[in-house]
Amino acid sequence: MIIKISRAVLGSLALISTAASQIQLPTGKAQLREEPIQQLVPAYKAQVVGTALEQAVDPTEYVVGPGDQFMVSILSTEPHFELATVTPTGSIILSGIGSLAVAGLTAKEVSREVIRLIEGMFPNYEATCLLYGIREIRVSVTGAVRRAGFHEVTPLSRVTDLIGEAGGVLASAMLHRVQLIRGTTGNRTLNLVSYYNDGDISQNPRLVAGDQIIVPYLDVTQDLVAVRGLAPTPTYYAILPGENLAYFLKRISYGNQADLTKVTLQRGKDGGGSEQFEVPSGDYASIDLEPGDILYIDRIVSIAVVGEVRNPGRYAYQPGLTAADYVMLAGGVTREGSPRKVETTGTNGRARQGGDTPIAEGDTVYIPRSFNSVFLGQLGMIQAALTFLNIYLAYLAARGT
């Protein structure tokens, strides 16, 4: 019996050893992608109950309307709980008690009036009334959004929530001239760029039922400047009124991809022609942009360092550095890496070996796992199988089989 079981276990061990022997040193290289920068507006979905809130609702300020829900409790010998919804006519109906007009009151005022009504009828009972669910309201958004029309939000939602519900804005949207039309209070111009970039919450007000939001399209003759150098073709951006170069660069920053230490500005002259000059970095804040300006911004070339290094990623290209230099910039080789097998791949796909390889623009430096690391991994599998076999055989011997 022991012999048969041992043969079965040894057969399994052979399969494990065969599988381990087929492990190969990795040859693939991690691909680092540069995702295009997009103007994103978070999606939003209103919920009557359980709405995500930026802070707790202030019952002294929240104005109640049709659809809001209140949890009413009456503590007596037989406790009673009831979820009351404000009707379309603005009233709360409590079973066995009556109705109460609450439209236009604050949540705190509604709670006070409901408790007064209940305790007036049942003076020996203790009543509570708390705001439980937030109603939905319908507001419209038109203009440079993906899904114009009416959308459902809540009285706690802000303009950006509505835009998110509409699928976000189009590339041609002018976020610094968004129009808010509200009943008899007239129009208001909102600068959502100031909200997104600087956190100015005053430019992103809460919505009320019947609001209309208009996101205007850009005016090509009044709003655009062109940026060259960062992409194969010019990229056009809308500028804000009175926006200076420093704020504009901060707003469109490409992180490590853009060399913001030097910018060349081309501007048309009155009567035709144009002038071109380099703007020192210290003067960025003093240069106000004008429609039709062309900015030339150099792109910082990066080198990808991947594989068995401590901090894989992209590093700025510096002429004269070798593959080994970039490995050091990436924190050095890990314990599993093979420093003697540094491989550099150029943009043409040609691979070169050695740490002393000169690095060119766009190269990828790759550190593979060492042979010892892979071999020890295989050996560990075999040792684990042998250990299991020894334990099992000892168990059988102890049983006297």
What is the reported pLDDT for 254?
Answer: 63
62 domain-assigned: no
The answer, yes or no, to whether residue 222 has pLDDT greater than 70, is yes
For 173-197, the pLDDT digits (tens) are 888 889 999 987 778 999 998 898 7
Residue 254 has a CB neighbour count (10 Å cut-off) of: 17
Query: pLDDT tier at 302 (50, 70, 90 boundaries)?
Result: confident
Residue 52 lies in a domain: no
Mean pLDDT of 23-30: 42
Confidence of residue 336 (pLDDT cuts 50, 70, 90): confident
- Asked if residue 294 and residue 253 are part of one domain, the reply reads yes
Tell me the CATH number at 278.
Answer: 3.10.560.10
Is 128 contained in some domain? yes
Specify the pLDDT at position 25.
Answer: 39
Residue 49 lies in a domain: no
SS (H, E, C) the chain: CHHHHHHHHHHHHHHHHHHHHCCCCCCCCCCCCCCCCCCCCCCCCCCCCCCCCCCCCCCCCCECCCCCEEEEEEECCCCEEEEEECCCCCEEEECCCEEEECCCCEHHHHHHHHHHHHHHHCCCCEEEEEEEECCCEEEEEEECECCCEEEEECCCCEHHHHHHHCCCECCCECHHHEEEEEHHHEEEEECHHHHHHHCCHHHCCECCCCCEEEECECCHHHHEEEEECCCCCCEEEECCCCCEHHHHHHHCCCHHHEEEEEEEEEEECCCCCEEEEEEEHHHHHHCECCCCCEEEEEECCEEEEEECECCCEEEECCCCCEHHHHHHHCCCECCCECHHHCEEECCCCCEEECCCCECCCCCEEEECECHHHHHHHHHHHHHHHHHHHHHHHHHHHHHCC
Using the predicted structure, report yes or no on whether residue 364 has a pLDDT greater than 90. yes
The residue from 196, 215, 234 where one domain ends is 215
Verify that 285 and 228 share a domain, yes or no. yes
Mean pLDDT of 22-33: 41
Strand partners, 92: 100
- The answer as to whether 13 is a domain residue is yes
Say yes or no to pLDDT of 8 above 90.
Answer: no
pLDDT-based confidence at residue 400 (cuts at 50, 70, 90): low
Q: Distance between CA atoms of 300 and 230, rounded to whole angstroms?
A: 9
Mean local confidence (pLDDT), 11-26:
43
Q: pLDDT at residue 47 above 80?
A: no
By the 8 A CB rule, do 100 and 113 touch?
Answer: yes
Judge whether residue 9 has pLDDT over 70: no
Mean pLDDT of 265-270: 80
Residues 345 and 380 in one domain: no
Count how many domains the chain has: 5
Q: What percent of the chain has pLDDT over 90?
A: 39
Q: Which tens digits make up the pLDDT trace of 121-149?
A: 888 889 999 999 899 999 999 999 999 99
Is 355 within a domain? Answer: yes
pLDDT band at 224 (very low <50, low <70, confident <90, very high): confident
Task: Indicate whether 57 belongs to any domain.
Answer: no
- Kindly state whether residues 288 and 235 are assigned to the same domain: yes
**44-70 average pLDDT score:** 72
* Rounded mean pLDDT, 155-177: 90
Residues 318 and 294 in one domain: no
- The rounded distance, in Å, linking the Cα atoms of 273 and 219 is 23
Q: What is the pLDDT of residue 377?
A: 54
- Give the whole-angstrom CA distance, residue 181 versus residue 211: 6
Task: Pick the last residue of a domain from 113, 133, 153.
Answer: 133
181 in the same domain as 236: no
Confidence check: pLDDT of 274 > 80: no
> Domain ends where: 155, 183, 215?
215
Which structural domain range is residue 295 located in?
220-299
Q: Is residue 48 part of a domain?
A: no
